[in-house]
Structures are given as C-alpha cells and as structure tokens.
Structure 1
Amino acid sequence: MTHANGNRPAITMASSATTSTLIPPALHTLPVQGGAIAASQWSNAGTTQTVYIDANSHIQQLSSKDGRTWQQTDLTQLTHSAVSNGKALTSYSWDKGDSQQVAFIDTLGHVHVLWAGEDGHWQVLDITQQAHAPLANGVILVNYEAASDGSQHIVYIDQQKHIQDLASIDGITWQATDITKLTHAALADGTTLSAFVWSKDESNHIVYVDTAKHLQELSSSPDGNWQADDLTQQYGAPLSNGHVVVAYEWRVTGSIIIDYIDNQKNIQELSRSLATVWAVSNLTNLSNRPPASGQSLAGYDWEQGDLRVLIYVDENKHLQELSLPPYDRWQGTDLTLQAVTSLVSDSGLVGFGWSLQGTKEVVFVDVNQHVHELTGFSNGKWQSADWQ
C-alpha cells in the first residue's frame, strides 16, 4: 500500500455570484495527451475527481470535497504504476468497496486499476495479468457496478475486436468474460463503447458500434445471461459516424437512453422503457441547435436539477448543452458563451451530476490541450476552473 503525499498543493476557487476563473499559482498542470480525460463523483465521500493523462503519460488527479479547494496528485508517480499508453482512461466510484477508482491501459495492452479509500492510500493492480485476460486494443475503457451483487466491471475492446468484461466482487480477484464470443455478437469497430446498469430490472448493458457502423446492445439479466441486439437493423436508426456513443439511465422516467452522432453530424437517440420498444429521435432537429463536430459527446441524468443533459462540441469549437425536463421539450445553451470559457478541442468530454453539491459538472480539453471543468448551478450560473 502506497501512502499519498500530505503536502500536495491546494488551490482555491474565488467565490462569485457570476462566472469566476480559478487561477492556481502553485499548480502546474501539463497538457492533456490524446484527449484522455475522465471524471466522476464519489457519493459515499461526497468528493469529485477529474483525471487526465499528461504529456509524460502519467495519470494526474484533481480532487475536491467542496468544489472550491482542489488537490493535485500524480497517481503514476505515487503508486509506481506502469506508464499509460496515453489514450484510454476511466474514473468511477465503487460503492461496495467504498473507494474511488481509476483504470487505464498501459503500452503493452494491459488494463490496470488504481484505487483508494477515504484514507487516501492509493494501490494499483494489473488486472489483465491477474485475470489472464486478452490484451486490450488500447483505445477505450468504460465501467459499471452491477446492482445484483455490487461487483465492479471494467469493459474494453481486445485486439480481436471482441468486447471483454473484467469483473471483481472484492477488488482483488478479477475474472474476464468474452461477451462477443458468448453472444456471437458482431465485431466492434474498436473505438466506441459505453456501459451502464438499468435499476428498473437490475440488468447490465454494454453498447458499442460494430464494423458496419451499426449500434449493438449487449444486455444481461442479474443471473448473468447475456444477449446481443443489432439496434440499427431492428429499428432503422441512422448509421453511426463511428466515433462516440453514450448510454445511461434516466431515473425519473425509468427509461434507458443511447445517444450517438451520425455521419451527417446529427445527434441521434434511441430510448425505451420497460413497457415500450426502442424509439429513434434526431435531437439536432428537435432542439434546433448547431451540428456536432463529431468526435465528442457526453450524456447524464442530473437528478437534482430534474433534467437529462447532453453535452457536445459544435463545428465552431463551442460547448453546446441540450437539456430535457421530464415529458417536456429540449432546451439548448451555448456553454462557451454562457460561461465565458475557452474554445474546445473535440478530443475529450465528460459530464455528470455531483450529488453532494447539487451541481452539474462538465470536463473538457481546450484547443491548447489543457483540461477545464465547468460547474453549473440550479440558478443557471456557471463557474469555471481553469488549471494551467
């Protein structure tokens, strides 16, 4: 077990009723490599963490308990872990293990997980080696926590374009399951992947784009029986552009959502409830907002604001937010103008709700390859944290 440095630099966000900018005189972050960013809240501890891969392929963590004071930690240096490949990264909290987690892929195609409890003592494990799992293609990682048994799952695409699910009930012993082989599903395109749990029936869902640009859904019941469905073929959804897909649950309506960008730069959506089949919608047309640039998309359920939120980058390098109240119509906001923030590169984007603060968080990479975080409040105001 490795102990965290108790003298990490702290930075404080100035308070303001309107947009404010964080200026950390003692903090020197490095440019983000390959748009590799991730972020998540840790509900049990009430904290939030943003992680990114820097120009030296180290994983850097920015964490906060209140959204004002932040700490920076070089997790690679702290844990003496393998160096990242500079591409794949995911961040999450594991409720059963009461810990914050970060997973990444090294230069050999091994998946590693870093974790720490509230004591801040970080540990690292090569789970590819531990589980004797196939090597990753090195492009993307996603995660979910099974509702049925609290196990944590890290999902990746291997070098044969198969979907692999790494699972652990105790955080130490891991098992690998080849979901593609199990379900005879179509091969993945290698770059698009998303996963979530549907609380209505405790089913697990993995969504990806195949080599024909079709949307494929892998789903399992709590007993672990997986099945595969070609949603594009079954429901006539437009072909994906092959760059990004995001899938999640909207709790207030009990529905599940899959959003992606098609080859016309429109945001397309498939949605359904337990009682309905999939419905296809063109959100770009419905919201009358600018087309997407095409590489980045983030979607999440903001429970405190009673909204479902989508974030994307438009062709003018602006952040656009689409929000939907239950059973209402879409609303659009240009966050770049609203929050007076930097132009955005279309290389990395994360959005989530921070339960403790009741805020919405947007993490992105600007055109100069620096990581930013925007905090949105229920009154419509935004604060900007600019780590340089």
Structure 2
Amino acid sequence: MAPIPVPDGQPSGYVHPGDGTQHVTYTAGDRIHELWWSGLWQYSDLSAAAAAPIAPAGVGRGYVHPNGTQHIPFRGADFLVHELWWDGSWHYNNLSKAANAQSGAEGAVSGYVHSDGTQHVVYVGQPNGEIHEVWWNGEWHQANLTAQASAPVNTRAKTVRGYAHPGDGTQHVTYQGFDGHIHELWWDGAWHHADLTAASGAPSNVNSLPLPYVHPGDGTQHVTYIATNGHIQELWWAGGWSHADLTASSGAPVGAIDIGQGYVHPDGSQHIPFLTSDGDLHELWWSGGWHYADLSGAQVGNLAKNIGHGYAHPGDKTQHIPFRATGQTTNGHLCELWWNGTWRFADLTQAVGGGP
C-alpha cells in the first residue's frame, strides 16, 4: 500500500448524522484526503476517488445534506469554486462553471445547507473583495451578497464563514473587517449587513478569523475569535448581540494562538478548543458558566502544530479535536484528542497504517 500522506494544512472534522460515520478531511500536496471512521479508522484519497482534475487551494469544512449526501467545497488553484460530493461514491463538480459565476474566489470557501435543502458556498470574490455565493436548489446559481445587502466592501481576511440557523431559517456570513470589527451579512428573505462589534459594544481588537456556531437547543448564536491581547472573546446573540471575554470569565491562561470551531455537545454544553504557543491544547467549555480545562496531559507529549475543527458525535456523545502533531514519532501525523468521559489521545495516521 502507498504511504498515507500527512496533512499540510488544517484538518477539519464532521459527523454524518444519518449513519454515524466520522470524517476528518485535510489537504496533502495537490489532493484532498480523509480519514473516516465506521467502527475503525480508514483512509481515502478523495481527489483520486472523484477524479478531480484541479488541485485544492482553500478547502471548506465538509457538510451533510438532509438527503444523506456529503459535500466538501474548495477553492481550486484556478481560483474557481469546486466540490467533491458523495452519494455512495465520490464525484467532482466545478460549481463556478455550473453557476456561471462571474467572480473568482480568494482564500478558503465555506459551505452549509439550509433547512429548506438549498446548499450554499460563500467566498470572497476577486478582484475587489466582495462576498459572493454559489447556491443550489436543484441547479446552481450565483449571487453577489455584498451588493444585495448594500454592504461596504470591508473584508480584511480573504476567508468568510457561513451558516444557517436551524430554528428561524436565517442565514449568516461572518467576516473580519479592515476596521477591526466583526461584520455579518444575514438573510431573512433578503440580505442585510450588520456590524456585530458595534451592535454588541465589543472592543475593536479582532486578531483572528471569527468562527461562528449555533446552539441548537436554545437558538443562541456565537462568534468566537482571538483578540489582540491574546484573550478569546465571543459575540453572542439571544435576541440582541452581546460581548463576553471568555478568557477572563473562565480563568484561562492568556496566549491563545489558534482556536477551533466551537461546537455543542448533545448535553447542551458548549466547547471551544484552543492552542497555545507551547503546542498544548486547551478548551473553554460552558455549562451554565464558562470553565477552563488544560487538555495537554492527554497529549502524552504529542504537541500540536495547529488545531482543526472539533465536533461532538450525536450518537455516542464522544467529542473529537483533530490536530497536526509534532511528537517524536508522530511529527506531521493527523492525531486527535477524543473524550468519552475522559480525554484520550489517538494517532489517526498510524491507525490507518501510516507513519513509522
């Protein structure tokens, strides 16, 4: 068997809610790969399986459609939007071509599915930084969301994050502006613009990509980020936008250099994993109040290069935080910390037969 390639970028995890399989996707060289679990970990070269003709340059987190299909959107080396999608086998599609999109893409793309079954892939467009989407309702279309929302062109980072609210059906695209504020374009039948930093009274000190998530139990929305002072902050919505310094309220150490996507456990607790410069993993977690946990003891010496998008399994209620390791025998391997009552370490690359 050919060697299992190790990640050269940030890994991203998700769960298929229908069959309970777990999926961690990553790029290596000019291909998209995944390690996936269905009782045991297995490896797939998704680009090869889908016969994708274009190398990835910015890959979005995978998502699952209510019909059971899986989708991994990505920006290609040609600056167009593409996807790999699965319906029992993997396929490739050029979404920019299918939608007749007029703008190329910068940075990484972000995909999600709405409760009405429509699919959406949002991205920063070329050449002027407006936010665009390609979206599907049986066929692919394109739209300039910045223009539709009459929003200023104000995307400091070349990556945006989109999501749909499962309760009220609104759609949201969050991004960092040149003014140090977090902004969003949001949809309730039409697209609008909002300055979330101004609306919440938060300081203008955003120093990372804002990462949004929704609590499916109470309908609150959360946007987390690292501030210029090294604190993890959030803007959160429960009928109106508020601000909180999660580092201060949890008593966590200062110095986060990378955070993972926040996620919600089936018990309603919220979790935000983060990385410090010494390679240790930590988390902030909420259950009526914010708490701090040092997860580094579970790493057993396998320090992290970067942290991936974590997730909670809705069936067995385990939690998973994928990361690239720098340990003596795991250097570059795709690893994870996973929780089933206590935090544990697993070398996923080794589990599928890769590495020394």
- CA deviation digits over 1:252-305, x for unaligned, max 9? x210111111122211101111xx3211011122443511113x4210111134
8 A contact 1:241–1:262 mirrored in 2: yes
Shift of residue 50 of structure 1?
Answer: 0.8
Q: Which one of 54, 60, 84 corresponds to residue 82 of structure 2?
A: 60
Partner SS, residue 271 of structure 1: strand
Moved more, 21-30 or 144-153: 21-30
Equivalent pairs counted in the alignment come to 311
Give the number of the structure with larger relative contact order, counting CA–CA contacts within 8 Å between residues 6 or more apart: 1
Q: Whole-Å Cα distance in 2 between the matches of residues 192 and 237 of structure 1?
A: 20
Correspondence 1:133 to 2:160: no
8 A contact 1:260–1:297 mirrored in 2: no
Change (3 A) 1:71 1:213: same
8 A contact 1:87–1:140 mirrored in 2: yes
Q: Whole-Å Cα distance in 1 between the matches of residues 332 and 268 of structure 2?
A: 33
Partner SS, residue 125 of structure 1: strand
Letter aligned with residue 128 of structure 1? T
Q: Which one of 330, 339, 363 corresponds to residue 343 of structure 2?
A: 330
Letter aligned with residue 211 of structure 1? T
8 A contact 2:52–2:92 mirrored in 1: no
1:317 counterpart residue number: 332
Shift of residue 342 of structure 1?
Answer: 8.2
8 A contact 1:193–1:208 mirrored in 2: yes
1:167 counterpart residue number: 186
8 A contact 1:246–1:260 mirrored in 2: no
Letter aligned with residue 137 of structure 1? R
Letter aligned with residue 300 of structure 1? Y
Q: Any residues of structure 2 matched to 1:251-270 within 5 Å, and which? A: 251=266, 253-270=267-284
2:70 counterpart residue number: 48
Q: Which one of 232, 239, 245 corresponds to residue 260 of structure 2?
A: 245
1:356 counterpart residue number: none
Letter aligned with residue 217 of structure 2? K
8 A contact 2:260–2:310 mirrored in 1: no
Q: Provide the identity percentage.
A: 23
Q: Which one of 231, 235, 238 corresponds to residue 218 of structure 1?
A: 235
- Structure 2: runs of 5+ lacking an equivalent: 1-37
Change (3 A) 1:99 1:56: same
Change (3 A) 1:230 1:19: closer
Q: Whole-Å Cα distance in 1 between the matches of residues 253 and 346 of structure 2?
A: 25
Q: Whole-Å Cα distance in 2 between the matches of residues 22 and 64 of structure 1?
A: 13
Q: Any residues of structure 2 matched to 1:105-144 within 5 Å, and which? A: 105-107=124-126, 108-117=128-137, 119=138, 121-135=139-153, 136-144=155-163
Q: Which one of 289, 303, 317 corresponds to residue 306 of structure 1?
A: 317
Shift of residue 61 of structure 1?
Answer: 0.6
Correspondence 1:29 to 2:53: yes
8 A contact 1:166–1:176 mirrored in 2: yes
Correspondence 1:178 to 2:191: no
8 A contact 2:334–2:347 mirrored in 1: yes
- Structure 1: runs of 5+ lacking an equivalent: 1-15, 344-388
Letter aligned with residue 248 of structure 2? Q
8 A contact 1:215–1:231 mirrored in 2: yes
Change (3 A) 1:18 1:198: closer
8 A contact 2:109–2:160 mirrored in 1: yes
Provide the TM-score with structure 1 as the length reference: 0.74
Change (3 A) 1:85 1:243: farther
Provide the TM-score with structure 2 as the length reference: 0.80
RMSD of aligned Cα (Å): 2.4
8 A contact 2:82–2:94 mirrored in 1: yes
Q: Which one of 169, 178, 185 corresponds to residue 150 of structure 1?
A: 169
Q: Whole-Å Cα distance in 1 between the matches of residues 123 and 41 of structure 2?
A: 36
8 A contact 1:57–1:83 mirrored in 2: no
Q: Whole-Å Cα distance in 2 between the matches of residues 57 and 243 of structure 1?
A: 26
8 A contact 1:189–1:213 mirrored in 2: no
- CA deviation digits over 1:192-217, x for unaligned, max 9? 32111113322111111112221111
- CA deviation digits over 1:204-258, x for unaligned, max 9? 111111122211111111x3x111011122333223443333211111x210111
- CA deviation digits over 1:143-171, x for unaligned, max 9? 3323441111111111212111211123x
Partner SS, residue 137 of structure 1: coil
Partner SS, residue 155 of structure 1: strand
Letter aligned with residue 40 of structure 1? Y
Q: Whole-Å Cα distance in 1 between the matches of residues 269 and 301 of structure 2?
A: 24
Partner SS, residue 164 of structure 1: strand
Change (3 A) 1:320 1:20: closer
1:235 counterpart residue number: 250
8 A contact 2:226–2:256 mirrored in 1: no
Correspondence 1:282 to 2:284: no
Q: Whole-Å Cα distance in 2 between the matches of residues 226 and 279 of structure 1?
A: 22
Correspondence 1:297 to 2:314: no
1:349 counterpart residue number: none
